[in-house]
A and B are shown apart, each in its own frame.
Chain A
Amino acid sequence: MTAVDDRPTTSDEIGRSRLRKEDQRLITGRTKWTDNIILPGMLHLAFARSPYANATITSIDIEAAKAAPGVVAVYTGKDLQDTMGTLICAYTITPDQVAPPHPPLAIDRVSFAGEAVAVVVARSYKEARDAADLLDVDYSLLPVVLDMEAAVAEGADLVHPELGTNISAHFVFDSAAAGTGGDVDASIAAAREDGVVIERTLRQQRLVPAFMEPRSVVVDPTGEQITMWSATQIPHILRFVLAATTGVPETKIRVIAPDVGGGFGGKLQTTPEEFVTFAVARKLGKPIKATETRTESIIASHHGRDQIQKLTLAAKKDGTVTGLKVELLADMGSHLALIGGGVPFLGTFMFNSIYKFESYRFDLTTVFTNKAWTDAYRGAGRPEATFGIERMMDELAVELGREPMELRQQNWITHPEFPFTTVCGMTYDSGNYEAATAKAMAMLDYEGLRREQAERRERKDPIQLGIGISTFTEMCGLAPSRVLGAIGAGAGGWEHASIRMLATGKVEVVTGTTPHGQGHETAWSQIVADKLGVAFEDVEVLHGDTQISSKGYDTYGSRSLVVGGIAVVKAAEKVVEKARVIAAHLLEASADDLEFADGRFTVKGTDQGMAMGEVAMAAFLGHNLPDGVESTLDSDATFDPEDFSFPHGTHLCATEVDTETGLVKIRKYVCVDDIGNVVNPLIVEGQVHGGLAQGIAQALYEEAVYDEQGTLTTATFVDYLVPGAPDLPFFDTDRTTTPSTTNPLGVKGVGEAGCIASTPAVVNSVLDAVRQFGVKDIEMPMTPLRVWKAIQGASSVGGEVEAASASPHWEQPVQSGGIQTASSDTRSDATDGSQA
């Protein structure tokens, strides 16, 4: 063998569309979902849940259930009070944030319909379920609080009377106070004098994450350690919270996330079901399984979004934006979830987006209601912000009669201005909004469609065309630990990886990230193959078991590659440095004279060299190592990002709106995302597609609806409209590449981009089609009925401005136009009917 022949051809793994390693078992049904697990003597749990949204539990009669066939035990919250631990919120967004205690099983009060009040343990699930229906629970009903605006009003009924308020926290970021920009009230006052002020109230409806695998948990207490398998995104965090709140030593708990069927933030939670199952298994000393039904999943897992956004944008007459004031009410539901107020809080840094505002104020009130708790859902805080600002940019364009893309261009950070520190103090390292936009406009045939739009308007075609824009950015790489510390998070943001060099030349990579569909096994293999010069096939990626992967912060927030992938890179670099010392010794050369490329150390200027696999074998044997050198190449690394990364892109959506039926059809969807360098384009494209589907679904289909008693009326897949294949368009996706400068791979994160960007593109598009009729707003989801009513409502007033809707919807008088519907009206299907 010559030195050259010996080289594996693996130097170009990064950037290659490798087919996924994970697929084989998933396409053949050899899967390990939590619900598949059957253990000897395993018992099954069924939960009894409150049908009432706000009530005191007066009594629970368990006798009939206890006597039912197959039943082993029945427990109420009181029975498990001392052993079940407690659910926590890891984010304290203000020092005086308040939160009620959150027992996994209600003890004496329930605060949303679906809260678990008791649990039945039986030999089979069917027996447990049948017996749970025999539980006789008496409730004393309390007034139900559902509307956020009513909840924060003086004298409101209370979700948690002991707190004395429905407000969990009130957080304010002000650019003048922070020294990162001017005074927003001054900007608005100036614009009222000699500019334009746009005021709008927008609604982000409540959504259900709706991962396809219902959550399931199995706990086996029979070994020295208590093992929990759970359909979770966060096995490491879960172990920590279990240990911290139950008093069981962390060393006695092992958490495994086996195959997990999607999460989207919905499995970024420590759940009541996990804690109750843990407690029951310990009590009975038997393995226990609890798998939820879909209805339980929709009712009792956390929801996402749910904000009322009051937005004020100030601009000069020439369209230059100056100030942005954001006042948010964010619905926390019944309790603070794991991230809780931290989700809307992320909007602090995102509402200003890619635009150069002089002044900015973000005012967030987190509110309790008698609904399911809310927490992360794909994008978590950033989709809400992107929606708000992209809607407002369109509103400004309409107000000024400007071309919406041109107006954005006038205001965005131009390519030569990077790195750019924004009005909220974030430094965007890199970006090229011009390039992404030019590409997207060409792909859509923007000019051509604008012409067609004009023609359709001209001939009063019943099918009207709209074109919607979303030029977005977001923040990934959550997060530098010091930043998390500064903003009240009870967690860090580093990630861990270790690499084990096996004697046979194979490589095991242990990662602290916990994939559930993202393809880390494939992507991490590509990174390691490149960095160590080993074959892609020779790398095995291990994850999701705290006994194997002992450290990690898991997978969410598009952080896995940007943080976890970099940890893998750092660990690989350490392997190379360890190997270099041994190779130098064996080659009788100085370490400084060795070059490492394509998996091989060579002595500069000679044909002498040895492959990484040979060094691994030498380390394994340990026969001939330099003095004082350990006989291992294994290395680990913990990477803490120095800053966030800021993916961006331009999404364009053309919709056809049938003005006679209100039906919206997406004619063409184009997006150009800039997520920096890419490890695997195939996986990236898949992530974008899935994100787009969810973002579009928010615009057109999905909403969690409660009735006036606080019962969720969309509790099945018949009522909660997750789109099927015919409901979604073909996505025309492309990329531009502006590498991030804050990490060695130049990557930025892609998991949430599609979901963050697409919602406003669709909504802006539909509004663009129907504004000509006087429609100013249509609430999401833009169902045919809502669209039709909006058109009807607007045209029936014949373009006359109604006095009621022309008054400003909060304090200050508005001099210039752009007045929007009264905020209380924004939840109705109709528009205010006023004509610009």
Chain B
Amino acid sequence: MGDAMSTDLPASKGSGVKLADSDFAADHRSTDVRTAVGDYWLRVRSGDLGAIPAILGLAGLIVLFTALRPDTFLSKGNLANLSTQALPVTILAMGLVFVLLLGEIDLSAGVASGVCAAVMAKLIVDSGQPWYVAVLAAIAIGIVIGTVLGWLVAVVRIPSFVVSLAFFLGLQGITLRLIGDGGTVPVHDDVIVALANKNMPLWLGWTAAVVCAAGYAATQLRRWQRQRSRGLAASPIELVAARVAVVAVVLLAGTYLLSLDRAPSPLVTLAGIPWGVPLVAVLLIICTFVLGRTSFGRHIYAVGGNAEAARRAGINVTRIKVAVFMISSALAAISGVVAASRLNSVATDSGGGNTLLYAVGAAVIGGTSLFGGRGRARDAVLGGLVIAIIDNGLGLLGTKAYANFLITGVVLLLAASIDATARRRRSSTGR
């Protein structure tokens, strides 16, 4: 790789520095789409799969379930259903991306979301607290759980697998204690219920979608322009434009589909983007910014890639680890609130069962590595959609519970083996 670098450089480089013929030549060739695509293909072949498995998975599943259930799967009502179904698992997975980036695992994130949701529900129902107090309390509990977890992992140095397994058991006990055996706490607060059950007004949905698409286009183009003008490495403009176009089309098409009237009866209208979707969008933007554009995010990748190197570079590894577990549990709390909204209640088994496996599966299917150092916030969204489609499609097919468990287990294994294979390729091609 990288031998063919005797490309011509732009004549003047300023500052009197004479570059040898191969100096950064690759940075200056990159205006060429073919080389960029070639480089991308090389990366893919050497095990850097990015979003490819998730997108193939999405396409394959959509085709599969459309073929098996042509009337119901792609119906307007079911699409809206899908979008809310994906919400809790996506948010939980987004938190797990942070943990996985460190090469750690948090097996308790699911039940932590249950505990936090139970706290929220109890505060609303038993103490009559307003929704925002209850939600803030839930997030605060999440942060406390994450702090303790992170402390045990980073300072006491118990493997995260063991710590979070202990929490997985312990926190279920706390939910039981809070709610009582076999009980449920109903959630009737308007705002909470609206998250997964009410929709944005159509005009607001369209405005938000257009603003997001335009904002994305503006940041991408501004970055490209800055890189070009300063002679830095930049993707070819055609690729930037293609990325912007894909994002815009997805946003606008999604908005269009969710803006169609999906009420079963012609007497009422039911249309719009569920309120939980913009919540996920905001979380996605924040997490993407934190991971990709701040030094804190950079340090997370560094610790996940090589903790000793990070330490020697002066990064406080302990602090990063604790912070990551705090973020993960805080997002778990938000996920718990959204899940409670979807079910209109919190039960003793909230966040238990396959919740966590779904979320880990979502992150890994999206492209986050279980081995640390690789992953992005958007992986949670892509993977969350895949998981939601599987869950939703199996529901439509009416498969038995035992089959659901089997299929989900196989999907998780499949994602993990793609990850492991890709990693092997990386280490065999990386010289």
Decide whether A and B assemble into one complex.
no
